[in-house]
């Protein structure tokens, strides 16, 4: 089981890194063709099943149009095998989204957790369900 736990943890870390770096094409391989996504707290889109292209478009818009940068810091990652071809995982996180208004720079800090369902598709673990639970958020000038 620890081999799966380590592998799923690495996948979550890679998705987080690619998202922060804006490497959208690389992210496509980490999701099933259609995945249920609940990121309404950030994107304002209702939770729904979406194509991977729609998910990445929303993230790209959020990170590159509304903010000039994003940085996610992962905390504990918990993994549980729920079936032969299904794994559930949860990762604590703190996200920082940076923006400018006039001559001032601000950071939106979001604390919460992502929960995932991974399905094995053609021998590879892919995200079929991803939900964000926000515990708290703040919007302050950078350095405050």
Report the CATH number at residue 89.
3.10.450.50
User: Residues 132-144: what's their mean pLDDT?
Assistant: 91
130: pLDDT strictly greater than 70? yes
- From the list 90, 80, 82, 144, the residue with the least C-alpha distance to 116 is 90
Residue 8 scores a pLDDT above 70: yes
Question: What pLDDT is recorded for position 34?
Answer: 96
* Number of domain units in the chain: 1
Distance separating alpha carbons of residues 112 and 134, to the nearest angstrom: 4
Q: For position 144, what pLDDT does the model report?
A: 66
Using the predicted structure, report yes or no on whether residue 1 has a pLDDT greater than 80: no
pLDDT digits 0-9 by tens, 71-104: 999 999 999 999 999 999 999 999 999 998 888 9
CA atoms within 13 A on the CB side of 135: 9
Asked if residue 74 lies in contact with residue 89, where contact means CB atoms within 8 angstroms, the answer is no
For the entire predicted model, the pTM comes to: 0.90
Mean pLDDT of 124-144: 93
Residue 79 half-sphere exposure, CB side, CA atoms within 13 Å? 19
DSSP assignment of 100-117 equals EETTEEEEEEEEEEEEEE
Contact 138, 109 (CB under 8 A): yes
User: In which domain, by residue range, is 17 found?
Assistant: 2-141
The residue among 67 and 47 whose pLDDT is bigger is: 47
Report the C-alpha gap between 106 and 104 in whole angstroms. Answer: 7
For residue 142, pLDDT over 60 is answered with: yes
In the numeric block, which tokens belong to residue 102? 């006039």
């Amino acid at each position: 089981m620890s081999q799966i736990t380590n592998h799923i943890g690495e996948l979550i870390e890679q998705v987080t890194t690619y998202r922060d770096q804006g490497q959208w094409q690389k992210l496509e391989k980490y999701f099933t063709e259609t995945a249920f996504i609940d990121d309404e707290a950030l994107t304002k889109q209702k939770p729904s099943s979406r194509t991977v292209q729609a998910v990445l478009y929303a993230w790209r818009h959020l990170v590159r149009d509304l903010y000039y940068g994003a940085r996610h810091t992962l905390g504990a990652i918990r993994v549980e095998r729920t079936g032969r071809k299904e794994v559930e995982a949860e990762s604590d996180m703190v996200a920082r989204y940076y923006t400018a208004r006039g001559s001032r720079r601000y950071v939106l800090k979001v604390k919460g957790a992502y929960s995932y369902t991974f399905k094995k598709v053609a021998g590879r673990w892919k995200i079929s369900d991803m939900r964000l639970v926000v515990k708290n958020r703040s919007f302050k000038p950078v350095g405050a």
